[in-house]
A = this chain, B = another copy of it.
Amino acid sequence: MPEQSPLEPAEGDPFGPHNLPYGVFSTPAEPDRRRLGVRIGDHVLDAGAAAHALGSPYSALLDRPSLDPLMGAGRTAWRDVRRALTAWVTVPAHRPAIEPLLYPLDTVTLHLPYEVADYVDFYASEHHATNVGRIFRPDGAALTPNWKHLPIGYHGRAGTVVVSGTEVRRPSGQRRAPTDAAPAFGPSVKLDIEAEVGFVVGTPSRQGDPVPLTSFRDHVFGLSLLNDWSARDIQAWEYVPLGPFLGKSFATSVSAWVTPLEALDAARVAPPARTEPLLPYLDDADDEEPGGFDLRISVALNGEVISEPPFSTMYWTAAQQLAHMTVNGASLRTGDLFASGTVSGADRAQRGSLLELTWNGTEPLELGSGKRAFLADGDVVTLTAWAPGPDGTRVGLGEVTGRIAAA
């Protein structure tokens, strides 16, 4: 029986030719040479080498150490390059040229695929915002008065976004419980995760020019799974009145693979019904394309699934977030990353943070690896996700994983 070609992943493989996410990799033979790659099954194709081998006009975009040039090339280039890549991995005549340019995933090192320009984190799940409001502000309304009128967001630290697999050191900082006389300093005792989906901007925009809802596809290149590590004790003491800062800025992990928007065409769904009228720049009721994405996220702690947040329940869509973020004239740059905020569904088993899953530590999880209110040193958190693809396939999103190192 002839050996199976890496170009023929098994039936049902979520990284088949209908997916083709982008990443940046290096090989043990040339560890300092970063190359743009495309994932097919359990292999990565050296996209620049493939372009040269096949005499493709896209070698200038693909023979690069970063995804940035392709991201900045615009929507038409994104479509054309994806068509070319699809042909390269599916047309049998290309096999002799392509197969030698494939590397098994477990032999390569994956890097942050793009340079993060500005990083914005939203707060778009009604279930999450309601849970957090109940926990942090038990005497007030769970949702602030603005929540249903605009997608609340804030800027995070772009310089500490790291690729999946990077170890995360437990942060130290100030905390002060309401009963403490003075703040104390030390390693965070409430280290948490936030299961999120990140959207990566390709096409920039000019300062002063808002990007309307309908231009979402012209600017957004693709999706990264994202874990916005959070130190709840640091955050609770610092965040009034100017928002989260050190409780979030120590690390944000993203998947090594960027899923092109086009791969998720079959996963578009309508967002939940809006319960407050929206101002015109946010009103997507008549949009031809539904703004939500049916992504099924899974959160594993030390290998045990602790939550399955459904992205389809997000109140605010990525297109609304983009329109809001730019309505004041703020410009976009290639590499801008904006994240959904924690994805939490209505059920307890769908909550995307330990804060919610353990109700601020009062209801610890009983796991094979022990009891957990928040993260312990050595814990490994892994997010995975998939979405419906064309013709009954599944589109896999790259995983994002990280291990907690002691302070």
A129 CB → nearest B CB, Å = 9
Residue A63 lies at the interface, judged by CB distance under 8 Å to chain B: no
Residues of B with C-beta under 8 A to A185? 279-281
Q: With a CB–CB cut-off of 8 A, which chain B residues contact A149?
A: 174, 176, 182-183
Given contacts A169-B208, A183-B279, A185-B279, contact A123 B158 (CB under 8 A): no
Q: Determine the main DSSP class of A at the interface with B.
A: loop
Are B336 and A159 in touch, CB under 8 angstroms?
yes
Complex contact A231–B157 (CB within 8 A): no
Q: Decide: A207 and B118 in contact? CB cutoff 8 A.
A: no
Q: Shortest distance in angstroms between A173's beta carbon and chain B's nearest beta carbon?
A: 5
- Pick from A3-11, A304-312, A322-330, A390-398 the stretch touching chain B: A322-330
Residue in B closest to A171 when the chains form the complex, CB atoms:
B328
CA A325 to CA B238, docked complex, whole Å: 12
Minimum distance in angstroms from A336 CB to a CB of chain B:
7
Contact with B along A362-394 (1 / 0, CB 8 A): 000000000000000000000000000000000
- Contact of A279 with B174 in the complex, beta carbons under 8 Å: yes
User: Please, which residue of chain B has its CB at the minimum distance from the CB of A117?
Assistant: B159
Query: Known interface pairs A169-B208, A183-B279. Does A159 touch B332 (Cβ–Cβ under 8 Å)?
Result: yes
**Separation of A238 and B145 alpha carbons in the complex (Å):** 9
How many angstroms between the C-alpha atoms of A317 and B117 in the bound complex?
Answer: 28
The stretch of A74-82, A85-93, A245-253, A261-269 that contacts the partner chain = A245-253
With contact pairs A183-B279, A208-B169, A237-B146 given, residues A160 and B331 touching in the complex (Cβ less than 8 Å): yes
* A117-163 interface with B by 8 A CB criterion: 117-118, 123, 136-137, 144-146, 149-150, 152-160, 162
State how many angstroms separate the Cβ of A117 from the closest Cβ of chain B. 6
Contact A243 B246 (CB under 8 A): no
Q: A234 at the A/B interface (Cβ < 8 Å)?
A: yes
Query: Residues of B contacting A208 with CB < 8 Å?
Result: 169
Interface residues of A (CB under 8 A from B): 117-118, 123, 136-137, 144-146, 149-150, 152-160, 162, 169, 171-174, 176, 182-183, 185, 207-208, 210, 231, 234, 237-247, 249-251, 277, 279-281, 324-325, 327-333, 336
Cα of A137 to Cα of B154 in the assembled complex, Å: 21
| Contact in complex: B146, A234 (CB < 8 Å) | no
Q: How far is the CA of A241 from the CA of B152 in the complex (A)?
A: 8
CB distance from A318 to the nearest CB of B (A): 16
Complex CA gap A207/B249 in Å reads: 10
Query: Quick one: closest B residue to A281, CB to CB?
Result: B185
User: Which of B245, B249, B251, B330 contacts A246 (CB under 8 A)?
Assistant: B330
6 A-B residue pairings within 8 Å (CB atoms)? A155-B156, A155-B157, A172-B328, A241-B243, A246-B328, A250-B329
Q: How far is the CB of A242 from chain B (nearest CB, A)?
A: 4
